[in-house]
Structure 1
Amino acid sequence: MSVDEVGRIVMIVPTYNEADNLAWIVERLRRAQPGVDVLVVDDGSPDGTGHIADGLAGADPQVRVLHRTTKEGLGAAYLAGFRWALAEGYDVIGEMDADGSHQPEQLGRLIEALAGADLVIGARWVPGGSVVNWPLSRRLLSRGGNLYVRLLLGISVKDATAGFRLFRRHTLEKVDLDLVRSTGYVFQTDLVARTLHAGLTVREVPIEFVERVRGDSKMTPDVASESLKRITEWGLRERREQARRALARRRDRSR
């Protein structure tokens, strides 16, 4: 599918202290996909990222900025961006990092995969996918984390923690964003599970993920550990709810 076939697309780029990367990644995105708009959601970056975003928006009407006053987590930034994009009438709403790890030149793969899909994920851990400049320890952590998610939640998505995505408008409307409470990196897994539970289709396409070369990564061992802890709590709660629903159905059939 092409941009013209899927309607209006906006890519949400959350930022916190990405002054070294923002102009570079937005320029690449606008060059790779001229028909795609950009929304920068800045969480009050003290390094001036918000001012850079304002400058980009002033020079390009297809770039917009949403300023937030506090750093509340990746999920909170995306939720704010989703609500803005829905209010603006976009048909497809995407996610991507500002640090260059998600290559705008590969966004076309995700757009093409929207045919017959409600959520498309640019995945590292599917055939054809890869990561660049990651140590073995981080590869194992990511692969192991995704395997854990699949087993715990009973889903088949190989890269549920990935952050390069395209949602159709109706997907975000159907999952009911007002019920989403996750704000950190677990947000990505939460949205995948909610999409699947809503009976919608998730498709994964391979991408090459490139570790940032400028600025500091927001994914630390402590952040990863906390994300897995929250996934465990949420996943066990969901499993209990699934068991409760199954028991209720059996009772109804026996009456």
Structure 2
Amino acid sequence: MSNVIGPTGENVLVVIPTYNESENLPIIVDRLLSALAGVHVLVVDDSSPDGTGEIADRLAAEDEAGRIHVLHRTEKDGLGKAYLAGFTWGLAREYAVLVEMDADGSHAPEQLHRLLDAVNAGADLAIGSRYVTGGSTVNWPKRREFLSRGANTYARLALGSSIRDITAGFRAYRREVLESFDFAAIDSAGYCFQIDLAWRAVQGGFTVTEVPITFTERAIGESKMDGGVITEAFLQVARWGMDSRFGRSKHG
């Protein structure tokens, strides 16, 4: 399969959802464009009251190369919906690869090339994994790591999947993968959104590859994860696993 990505990230759109990330956003965008000058960035802001959207607009206006774009949403209705809005925007503009990346610095832009190299090597979905050889976490509270590892083990067993970090939020999709999804049928969030899309890719026959990354706990701001998102993931994964085992229709 021929390369779809240029040496500095050409044809790639990095989608960064934001809600109250005014301090983190300029830092992560600068790191990203320093690491891969050819990528484009789409900030999807959910009307952050701390001015994140205005900061994104300023960054876009100051970028003479036209690499930074901003999508303003009028309400905060979850990470999954923000990503789907960003994917829809990017697919309409013919980007070859669309990337999920957090605004808080937990995903190192300097390691994005690992995901893009995997796509150029033939992966349809490249997942930045904490739990494959070479992957790691830094400064993560033990409770959060325990929950994450437990969620991934549960999802692997329930779905019969070999993906070790199926909840990971640092990933790169070929556009063909996203085009195969029915966005209107996707209503999951958080952990569940990441599991949902990876499982859809597996069921669609796409090649999913994990590459090792270093996940670093945010230094500024607070995590948006809550108990409701974890409960949703537990129940949805159980349903998808049962559907798969008993030959019922694909989820969603």
- TM beyond 0.5: yes
Matched with 1:145 is 151
Quote the RMSD (CA, aligned, Å).
1.6
Matched with 1:53 is 56
More helix by share: 1
Structure 1 distance, partners of 2:191, 2:60, is 27
Structure 2 distance, partners of 1:127, 1:78, is 28
| TM-score scaled by length of structure 1 | 0.90
Matched with 1:234 is 236
Unaligned runs of 5+ residues in structure 2 are none
SS in structure 1 at match of 2:180 = helix
Does structure 2 retain, via aligned residues, the 8 Å contact 1:171–1:195?
yes
Structure 2 distance, partners of 1:202, 1:142, is 20
1:213-244 deviations in whole A, cap 9, x for unaligned? 1111212xxx1x32332223222322332344
Does structure 2 retain, via aligned residues, the 8 Å contact 1:72–1:183?
no
Letter in 1 for 2:40: D
Matched with 1:196 is 202
User: Could you tell me which of 102, 120, 124 is aligned with 2:107?
Assistant: 102
| TM-score scaled by length of structure 2 | 0.91
Quick one: structure 1 residues 29 and 229, their matched pair in 2 at CA, closer, same or farther if it must change by over 3 Å?
A: same
Matching of residue 157 in structure 1 with residue 160 in structure 2: no
Matched with 2:92 is 87
Structure 2 distance, partners of 1:228, 1:154, is 19
SS in structure 2 at match of 1:218 = coil
Structure 1 distance, partners of 2:42, 2:82, is 11
User: Could you tell me which of 185, 190, 214 is aligned with 2:191?
Assistant: 185
Does structure 1 retain, via aligned residues, the 8 Å contact 2:128–2:210?
yes
Quick one: structure 1 residues 231 and 97, their matched pair in 2 at CA, closer, same or farther if it must change by over 3 Å?
A: same
Unaligned runs of 5+ residues in structure 1 are 247-255
1:73-112 deviations in whole A, cap 9, x for unaligned? 0001000000000001111000100011101000111111
Structure 2 distance, partners of 1:237, 1:58, is 46
Does structure 1 retain, via aligned residues, the 8 Å contact 2:189–2:229?
no
Spell out the pairing of 1:168-183 with structure 2 (5 A cutoff).
168-183=174-189
Q: Which has the larger radius of gyration?
A: 1
Letter in 2 for 1:48: G
Identity of aligned residues (%): 53
Deviation, 1:185, is 3.4
Structure 1 distance, partners of 2:4, 2:94, is 19
User: Could you tell me which of 17, 20, 28 is aligned with 2:20?
Assistant: 17
